[in-house]
Chains A and B, each alone.
Chain A
Amino acid sequence: MTDSTTDSIMRIEKLYKSFGALKATDDVTLELRKGEIHALIGPNGAGKSTLIAQIAGSLKPDAGKIFLDDEDITQLSVAARAVKGLGRCFQVSSLAMPLSVRRNVMIASQAITGSSFRFWKAVESDKALIAAADEAIDMVGLLDRANVPVSNLSHGERRQLEVGCALALKPKLLLLDEPMAGLGAGGSERLTMLLESLKLEIPILLIEHDMDAVFRLADYISVLVYGQIVAQGSAEKIRHNPLVREAYLGASDLDATDLKDD
């Protein structure tokens, strides 16, 4: 099914998940390859979040397998997957509001710079830990805000921090759930550039409503409708795919101009 020869970092094979009668994930197979941004699009209720949840591990599929670097992670817990290098950002920000930016990122660094069952050394004086965290914070350009409690951050900054937390894991790939949601023009601009710069080291599976962003960023797109992948291919292919147009016609979250102008 792949039209590219680059080797895959994550593979999802024949994933099924249903809630009662509703088939939320119906025979989904897709692949994320090194150096690319793979966008997963689809109208509301297409089952994007369910799919993400299964990839992240907070939801167990009824059938099918998920591979990370050819290793089967289908049965692993959220935490275990994170350690294996699956970085994730949430649709609704999931940061610890009262804690500082650095504190939020340090937790992620902790997992990769050693065990969390160290009861003695104070984290404040843990040079390695702080350095690792600050590196990630720097990547998302929040270093000057490192000591600010998250509750005082702007919405845009929180988005950036989410990405920063994921990066602190030194992940093999990023799972981004609508990172652009609610960002102003400036904010989404900054984030777009960040992701652009990231994708070479860290491939990204992106779920996004903002079609501008999708078509600007994504090298490869899968279209999810009623839990099924109805189309898959390069951004260009998808842009012209009648199925997709049909699926999206009248769907508010994709404005028609995107599809006409070419």
Chain B
Amino acid sequence: MTLALAFEQLLNGIQFGVMLFLMASGLTLIFGVMGLINLAHGSLYMVGAFVCAYVTGLTGSFWLGLVAGSLGAALMGVMVEVLVIRRLYHRDHLDQVLATFALILILSEGTAWVFGSQPLWLDIPSILKGSVELGVLIYPVYRILIIVVGVLVALGLYLLISRTRIGMRIRAGENDREMIGALGVNISVLYTFVFAVGAALAGLAGSLVGALQSVEVGMGEPVLILAFVVIVIGGIGSIKGALIGAMLVGIVDTLGRVLLPSLFQWFMEPSAAASVGSALASMLIYLLMAIILAIKPKGLFPAND
């Protein structure tokens, strides 16, 4: 493997990591503030993608679709929060797992009902098609955009939490849920807001990634599991942790996919090596997670809890 290729694969790993971060950031934010495990986060990701695809198809503008996707997911988020999630904050994690598991079923089938069961068309806007030369390698513009957006989101969240009044309240919420009452904040409004933000992030991720991958029912679930791996590695509730965790997972997974098969070719015939290697590669991130939790049971950057 040439140096250029190695570098490109590393970049791919980072880029994949950023995709995961877009998804994980909302998840970890929601957990950090409300202490809620939201299995339905993947479904919000899916809703975002479908709305984006629908609006893009309607208006012909991907950018409108992107906005619509984020807003649509946020709106769905608010609905879900007010109708269901709200009643779960004071329940144990078990009830939360169960209720949000039920939400997955409802949202998936609901989406199929509204938009039909066939995958929807959603493509990268033509300006962003094609690739650019980055020194030794050629890299797709759109993927660079995703990296940029990811960085912006990370920055935005950092500012929101550290600079704004709401952020101050959010941190208060993280530190202790009673104190926030003392701050005279309407807690349920704050929670709804935070949930909406998380949902919007999921929607944004769904729209951006949907354009690159595919928009279909059930697209959220594999991503959800990965996002959970990410935030658990990073330390649940910590945005910083989510970022680092996402990068770790992205890079480990990508390099594993690339390197393991070629590694096994040293002592196996190619197709067997390809098969065994990729099998091992698919287990790799879970192995990573297990190891990290074995050493640091609360993840790399435990949020104050």
Direct contact of A and B (CB under 8 A): no
Binding site for B on A (CB under 8 A): none
